[in-house]
Amino acid sequence: MKSFSHMEVKTETKMFPKIEFNMESCLGAMDCGKCFQACAPHVMRCYTQIPEGHTMHSKEWIPIATFPSLCTGCMKCVDVCPKAENGAITVKFEAVRLPKKIFKRT
């Protein structure tokens, strides 16, 4: 695949976020959704895995982190979360090896 060709070239060690949701304490993306509404670079969005018969206001809509590489670690999502102390959302940074150039502005 041509757009991934740069991945063989060089890698660097970088701090990368690990954003995790605990759906047992999360209030649901459509009913609450404060975490991804607070996120300026849109790291997270909501998503449903149940294709049929879901309604908008239900726990079937869950938040997921689609663009973790855009996360700056400002922790606003954790600050606004009403269930943060129950571990609904955790953001941890860990060192991973990444390709040197991930993004190209076009």
Q: Provide the binding-site residues for another protein, judged by CB under 8 A.
A: 1-4, 7, 11, 16, 29-34, 36-37, 41-42, 45-52, 54-57, 61, 63-70, 96-99, 102-106
Nearest distance from C-beta of residue 9 to another protein, angstroms: 12
Enumerate residues 6+ apart whose C-beta is below 8 A from 35.
Answer: 44, 63, 77, 78, 80, 81, 89
30 vs 88 by CB, closer to another protein: 30
Least distance to another protein from the beta carbon of 86, Å?
A: 19
Tell me phi and psi for residue 52, to 5 degrees: -105, 140
Q: What is the DSSP letter of 85?
A: G
Considering the complex, what minimum distance in angstroms separates the CB of residue 29 from another protein? 5
Q: What are phi and psi of 65, to 5 degrees?
A: -95, 105
